[in-house]
């Protein structure tokens, strides 16, 4: 820290003596602000907001409702869920350059947060597209295409489709965006080392090529959350070819993912717990041609009729790997036979 402060101070003095104003970027600096200062395009969802907006947005995301600007309590966005039923708000990948469910599992476990189908809201304002890959390919209607290119539209799409709720009003949308901005990445979140920070400040000071610097900053994190869908295995009896389940990982998946929604008091009416009954039922259904089969429920979820009832979103490969499905299977079969 001493080294960095000395160098930064030296830089400041140098530039002050040249009569040039210069901003020093620090670990807590906003990544979006650094990029904009380097003349990267300003995101369409960029906002100025107040602490009140953030508070309202946080309540909508976590509780589904808040106090509206007119002083009245707003109605729930969804009868069934809060946004945090399916999305975390913390960083959930140890390395922001990869979306890997296998490294995510121990990472979220250590943090005490769940392992879910929706991507985290941490850094969502730093993404440049949403509902990517197979969401566009498989549901490529105008609604999804609009959401793919615009964070505001993504929020609306998820409010109606994923949460089986209603369109948000403008002030609600702005509040959620404000809350999202409070979860933006700072340089520290990107895992920049002191040397990286010095390099950043130095090169900005030297007016090195901005496109290169922008690209370099963006190499620290993904600008989109990838999503590829997968199918149940050809033979449910055999499972996914060549993969051996791991009991301990299966236990973590069961507890951090399935039980999060299926424990008593969770969002689903279908209750699962640690009893032999739960494991026996799940285990008996694995090889069946039924949405109660692990292979089908994970890859396809349940069918959603907008506004009608809670449904289960499926897991793209980036949210649960085939290996993890086998891990879960081996844990469930083990517990069923105990
Ligand atoms: C029942 C589960 C569920 C609920 C509830 C839910 N979402 Fe989602 N959401 C998803 C899934 C699944 C996706 C697609 C995968 C992903 O996150 O990229 C998604 C995607 C999104 C995206 C795009 C993310 C990206 O990077 O592609 C946004 C924005 C979003 N949801 C906002 C919300 C908001 C705001 C709420 C609350 C009003 C909400 N969601 C409630 C399941 C849910
Ligand atoms: C984000 C919440 C969520 C997560 C996580 C989740 N589920 Fe579900 N699941 C649901 C909802 C909602 C339904 C719809 C059934 C209902 O509640 O009426 C459902 C339905 C099911 C069904 C069919 C039950 C029926 O009555 O049709 C099975 C089986 C199931 N889930 C198993 C699992 C397993 C196994 C996991 C872990 C890999 C899991 N679920 C993770 C929310 C979730």
Q: What is the pLDDT of residue 284?
A: 97
Residue range 266-290, pLDDT digits in tens: 999 899 999 999 999 999 999 999 9
CA–CA separation, 171 and 181 (whole Å):
15
What is the Å distance from ligand 1's center to 162 Cα? 6
283 lines ligand 1 (CB under 6 A): no
- Give 183 Cα–ligand 2 centroid separation in angstroms: 28
Ligand nearest to the CA of 282: 2
C-alpha pair distances (Å), 271 with each of 251, 274, 278, 301: 17, 10, 8, 16
From 92, 145, 162, mutation site for ligand 1 pocket: most ligand atoms within 8 A of C-beta: 162
* pLDDT, position 3: 59
Q: Identify the CA nearest to 91 among candidates 154, 184, 175.
A: 184
Residue nearest (by alpha carbon) to ligand 2 atom 1:
86
> What's the gap in Å between 151 CA and the centre of ligand 1?
11
Closest ligand, as measured to the CA of 296 = 2
| pLDDT reported for residue 142 | 85
How many CB atoms are closer than 10 A to CB 135?
21
Does ligand 2 have an atom closer than 6 angstroms to the CB of 321? Answer: no
Q: Which two tokens stand for residue 192?
A: 């920049």
- pLDDT, position 143: 86
Sequence-distant (≥ 6) Cβ neighbours of residue 266 within 8 angstroms? 259, 260
Whether 130 contacts 147, CB under 8 Å: yes
Name the one residue in this structure whose structure tokens are 């279908």.
Answer: 270
C-beta 127 within 6 A of ligand 1? yes
Q: Which of 108, 263, 268 to mutate to test the pocket of ligand 2 (most atoms within 8 A of CB)?
A: 268
pLDDT score recorded for residue 4 = 63
Sign of CA dihedral 322, 219, 94, 223: negative
> What local confidence, expressed as pLDDT, does residue 13 receive?
47
Instruction: Look at residue 141 in the predicted model and tell me its pLDDT.
Output: 81
**Alpha-carbon gap, residue 270 to 281, rounded angstroms:** 12
User: What contacts 263, CB < 8 A, 6 or more positions away?
Assistant: 271, 272, 273
Q: pLDDT under 70 in the chain at which residues?
A: 1-21, 208, 304-308
* Residue nearest (by alpha carbon) to ligand 1 atom 35: 155
In whole angstroms, what is the distance from residue 115 CA to residue 240 CA? 21
């Amino acid at each position: 820290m001493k080294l960095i402060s000395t160098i930064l101070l030296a830089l400041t003095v140098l530039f002050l003596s040249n009569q040039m104003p210069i901003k020093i970027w620090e670990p807590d600096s906003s990544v979006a602000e650094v990029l904009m200062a380097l003349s990267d395009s300003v995101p369409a969802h960029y906002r100025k907001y107040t602490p009140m907006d953030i508070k309202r947005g946080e309540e909508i995301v976590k509780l589904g409702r808040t106090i509206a600007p007119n002083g009245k309590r707003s109605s729930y966005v969804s009868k069934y869920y809060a946004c945090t039923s399916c999305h975390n708000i913390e960083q959930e990948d140890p390395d922001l350059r990869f979306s890997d469910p296998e490294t995510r599992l121990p990472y979220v476990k250590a943090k005490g947060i769940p392992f879910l189908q929706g991507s985290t809201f941490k850094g969502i304002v730093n993404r440049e597209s949403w509902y990517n890959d197979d969401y566009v390919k498989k549901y490529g209607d105008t609604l999804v295409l609009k959401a793919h290119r615009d964070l505001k539209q993504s929020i609306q799409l998820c409010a109606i489709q994923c949460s089986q709720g209603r369109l948000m009003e403008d002030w609600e949308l702005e509040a959620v965006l404000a809350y999202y901005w409070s979860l933006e990445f700072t340089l520290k979140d990107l895992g920049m080392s002191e040397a990286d920070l010095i390099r950043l400040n130095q090169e900005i000071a030297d007016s090195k090529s901005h496109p290169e610097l922008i690209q370099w900053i963006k190499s620290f994190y993904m600008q989109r959350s990838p999503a590829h869908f997968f199918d149940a295995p050809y033979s449910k009896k055999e499972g996914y070819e060549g993969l051996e389940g791991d009991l301990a990982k299966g236990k973590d998946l069961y507890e951090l993912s399935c039980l999060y929604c299926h424990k008593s008091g969770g969002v689903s009416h279908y209750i699962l717990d640690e009893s032999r009954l739960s494991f026996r039922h799940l285990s008996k259904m694995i090889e069946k041609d039924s949405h109660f089969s692990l292979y089908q429920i994970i890859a396809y979820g349940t069918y959603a009729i907008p506004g009608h009832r809670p449904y289960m979103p499926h897991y793209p490969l980036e949210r649960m790997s085939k290996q993890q499905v086998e891990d879960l299977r081996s844990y469930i079969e083990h517990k069923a036979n105990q």
